[in-house]
Amino acid sequence: MSRPVVLQGVGRLGSAILEGWLKTGAVDPADLIILTPSEKPAAEAARALGARINPPLEALADARVFVIGVKPAKWFEASRSILPHLASDAVIVSVMAGVRRETISQGFDGRSIVRIMPTTGVAQAQGVATIWAADAAARAVGEALFAPIAETVHLDDEAAMHAATAVSGCGPAYYFAFTRALAQAGVAEGLTPEAAVRLARATLRSAAAGVEGAEALDALIDRVASPGGVTQAGLLALNENGALDRAVESAVQAAVVKSTELSG
């Protein structure tokens, strides 16, 4: 057994990360220690494959990585009992939105820290993970843990994590909300609710497949929207007087403000 990876918190994001690791083998279940106050399906699936759930804290002494997956408001309370049991060279991996490296460092006696903002698509090994660390070694740890389950994007400036969180971390919910609105509009135009939802969801999957290459986004739009055609008419209505651009900009700005507030 190699030095273990500790995951504290198996909520929505923690569960997604765990599911991705199990799916891809990015972390050997036998090398996983999971800390959770309640029973979680993802944790139980990991236990069946050899992971340890809530062992005595002395078991954390050899951990090479400690992943904080709890809610930002609760991380210090949840983690302070862990500190005396962690090796001095353990790397702290934070997937908490808004909590700065400086703040986390104070809670973990200056240990090496990497901040990562993943999407829940990591559960299917199709996520996105923004990575920032002050040192190359910590950055490499983050890359090793998340590259198998996400497209990783490295930032040079920690302050940019707010924007990355607003665009990528929050982004899936924006797309889901648009897909819901598209389905509702289809119903308003005569589709049955079942047909409208199936069409909207399938269209989202189809559109996502189209961005896998390096083709410019404008070119992808032009491929669907012929001049003077049906799609172009819809796009013109959607962004009349810049309405769509302003709505998306407002959403990202609001998320940046909230992320900044959480950073204290």
For residue 178, the surrounding DSSP H or E stretch is helix 171-188
DSSP bridge partners of 127 = 150
* Among the listed residues 38, 212, 79, 24, the one whose alpha carbon sits nearest the alpha carbon of residue 93: 79
Q: What span, in angstroms and rounded, lies between the C-alpha atoms of 60 and 66?
A: 9
B/e letters for 167-180, b = 16+ CB within 10 Å, e = fewer, are bbbbbeebeeebbe
The three-state secondary structure class of 254 is helix
Strand arrangement of the beta sheet that strand 150-154 belongs to: 52-53, 32-35, 5-8, 65-68, 91-94, 113-118, 127-133, 150-154
103 is in an annotated binding site: no
Task: Write out the binding residues for NADP(+).
Answer: 36
Task: Write out the binding residues.
Answer: 36
